[in-house]
Chain A
Amino acid sequence: MLQQLEGSQALAKAIALCRPQVVCAYPITPQTHIVEGIGELVRNGTLKNCEFLNVESEMAAISVAIGSEAAGVRSYTATSSQGLLYMMEAVYNASGLELPIVMTLGNRTIGSPINIWNDHSDAMSVRDAGWLMLFAENNQEAVDLHIQAFKIAESIKCPVMVCVDGFVLTHAYEQVNIPEQNEVDEFLPKYNPHISMDKKHSYAIGAMVSPNDFMEVRYLAHKRQLDALDVISNVREEFLSKFNRNSGGLIRGYNIDGADTVIVAMGSVLGTIKDAVDNLNASGNEKFGVLSIISYRPFPQNEIKKALNQAKRVIVVEKAFALGKGGILSQEIELVLKGLNIDVISIIAGIGGRIITKQMLMECFENPKDKFQFLGLNRATIEKEYQSPCISKVGKE
């Protein structure tokens, strides 16, 4: 049913439709409204047979989910930014233990300086932690990805992180189609866990593994991620036929056939990018297309290569970068396109919630001055800082 909802409230409803039996809540901006919403649905009886725990930290939130998944029930939590870093040790642990937890990451930057606004620095800090990472472009897709995430996670025994841009999506009111309970029940059947902790299914989970076997364990985890490429695609197909919505999957092209320049990005900025590209295509000679990356982990290299190999130029708009190196997503794209003689340009945008306008993007796409640039960087501030006696004079611009 179409409803006008705040992103977080839409997600709370969608997650409740998936019938998790343990949900743990710890507040951190901007994901807080999601767990608040689920808590309300538990207390008013909408979400039944669900234990909702108010825990004392993010470390406890993910650890409770580890325990409840080990005991064989569908479990959910959400976090952002510093919270993700605080649970980092257990983030790796959850994937190592093959526990299909679903977690929303309300994307927010990482301090210091402290800043609560959106970018993808938090997600990039766990890109090698063994979780599947799916990025939502809008609130409808965020809703749909969560329903798909439980199915994907449980079928391959791997946790899934659904990345939803903080504020831009979590706090935005949009029209969202929330599926009916019976439809979700048909799509996502009752959880049939591969492990549990009653005496009939007694396992020792979490063994110590020596150098004799550790590399094999890691190889298998890598292989599982590669296998997930097919699973994610299949679940998208199944979702499409059931709900008649094209949400999820690995990548999604927009005006990509015959495009001279293809813009690559993840998350909510894709909406603004598509608007910018529409304007450019309507007026100019150069043809622009857009490639959305939905599945960042596993990284769909072959699909990306196939989508981009006809382009002359690729511009990656990325909301995080590696200090001392440069773009992260753009590096991965560059490796995929190695040897194809396609220019890859990296635009670092929206860091710490910096505004990204259609106009800024259009100027940049039409005339990208450098191979690596920061969108809307205020040179005056930087120059002023270099004049300050407090900072080192070494390395002046």
Chain B
Amino acid sequence: MSSLTMGNRFGRNTTVQSENNRPNSLTSGHRACQGCGEALAARCSLDAAYIETKGNIAVVNATGCLEVFSCAYPENSWNIPWVHSLFGNAAAVASGVAAAFKSQKKDIRVIAQGGDGGTTDIGMACLSGMFERNDDVLYICYDNEAYMNTGVQRSSATLTFARTATTLPNGQYMGNDIRTGKNVPEIAMAHGIPYVASASIGDIHDLEKKVKKAIHIKGAKYIQIHSPCPLGWGYPTENTIQLAKLAIKCGLYPLFEAENGVVVNSTAIDNIISVESYLKGQKRFAHLFGKNAQVNSWKVIQELANNHIRKYKLGEVVYE
């Protein structure tokens, strides 16, 4: 239900979520965990797209948490045309939906959505093909940095040193010590598509603004939304938004927009914080701070944040 407090009604910068006519594209009663960042990100994104297009959207979903918790037969939480095919083919299915609308001359905007596993790993080939053909699809990746649906295994979006079921820390192993993950927004930019953005449920205004902008652009669009997962990351369910905000404030999740392969805009951070304050609230990084932790090992992650701060011009690096 929407809130009708004075502040919301008269504020100049209200979100779709605070409006009376919020469409509830993903409606209540679904089976997501308490505090699910992905459910919130999906509702915010699709509601914004719905309002912007007067309901003329069609959504393709990759297999994953979002699909499993929303469509357990005979129930269904989607108030929009919605199709789920497989784990790795959402981008291609969306290309097909877009081609069908084009051939029928229907002006319905197509959105594909999936988690980071379905996007940055198994869905990468179809995603790249959709980008390369510049098909008229907005692809949204809800990034919670691991395969949560199958029980928290590492993906190519998993942050350095994070504990997952397949990167367990145990003395000589530092959790996800394999690599720093795949920068899919930049891979998307390298295809020269009209619009790429990163967003976060820690900044709903920014998220809605980007979706509303992207949904009107003809051609391939990519938005990657940071969506914390209480189960996979190990934090109290009420901290989802707080952690998303901390990830932005420490520079680990830079918010930016790129057009035709060039960054055109990034969100400066007012008071940059240390990654330590973000990491410490999550059990997946507990091994970096416990009694037996290697001293200051988390500073490798600080360096990642600093690189983002410099690269995307988010402010001055404070924590070296």
Contacts and interface: CB of A to CB of B under 8 A. Distances in A.
A198 B82 contact: no
Interface residues of A, number: 44
A71 interface: yes
A251 interface: no
Interface stretch (B35-43, B72-80, B171-179, B198-206): B72-80
Interface string A194-209: 0011110111111111
A197 B108 contact: yes
B81 A21 contact: no
A40 B150 CA distance: 45
Interface stretch (B122-130, B231-239, B257-265, B276-284): B122-130
B13 interface: no
A93 B72 contact: no
B319 interface: no
Given A22-B96, A63-B93, A207 B104 contact: no
B71 A206 contact: yes
Contacts of A59: 88-89, 92, 125-126
Nearest to A214: B73
B126 A63 contact: yes
Contact of A49 (B88, B94, B103, B128): B103
A206 B85 contact: yes
A21 B103 contact: yes
B128 A56 contact: yes
Contacts of A198: 56, 58, 81, 106, 108
Contacts of A336: none
Contacts of A65: 96
Contacts of B81: 196-199, 201-203
B94 to A, nearest CB: 6
A182 interface: no
A347 to B, nearest CB: 39
B58 A66 contact: no
Most chain-A CB neighbours within 10 Å: which of B58, B67, B80, B128? B58
Contact of B80 (A68, A199, A208): A199
Interface string A21-61: 11010000000000000000000000001110111110110
Interface in B265-297: none
B97 A68 contact: yes
B181 interface: no
A292 interface: no
Contact of B92 (A51, A64, A72, A197): A64
B132 interface: yes
Contacts of B129: 55-57, 60
A199 B97 contact: no
B245 interface: no
Interface in B86-142: 86, 88-89, 92-104, 106, 108, 125-126, 128-129, 132-133
A89 interface: yes
B68 interface: yes
A69 B295 CA distance: 57
A70 B86 contact: no
Given A59-B126, A198-B58, A68 B100 contact: yes
Nearest to B96: A67
B67 A90 contact: no
B83 interface: yes
Contacts of B88: 59, 89
A49 B99 CA distance: 10
B149 to A, nearest CB: 11
Contacts of A63: 85-86, 89, 92-93, 95-96, 126
A290 interface: no
Given A198-B58, A199-B81, A67 B93 contact: yes
A50 B133 CA distance: 16
B46 interface: no
A40 B129 CA distance: 22
A56 B128 CA distance: 9
A199 B78 CA distance: 12
A202 B88 CA distance: 24
A95 to B, nearest CB: 12
A97 interface: yes
A190 B97 CA distance: 19
Contacts of A53: 95-96, 99, 133
B60 interface: yes
Given A49-B103, A57-B126, A63-B96, 13 more contacts: A56-B129, A64-B99, A67-B60, A67-B92, A67-B100, A70-B93, A71-B58, A71-B97, A90-B85, A93-B85, A199-B80, A202-B82, A213-B73
6 contacts: A21-B104, A22-B96, A67-B96, A90-B86, A97-B85, A203-B81
Sorted from nearest, which 3 A-B pairs have the closest CB atoms? A67-B96, A206-B84, A56-B129
Interface of A: 21-22, 24, 49-51, 53-57, 59-60, 63-73, 75, 89-90, 93, 97, 196-199, 201-210, 213
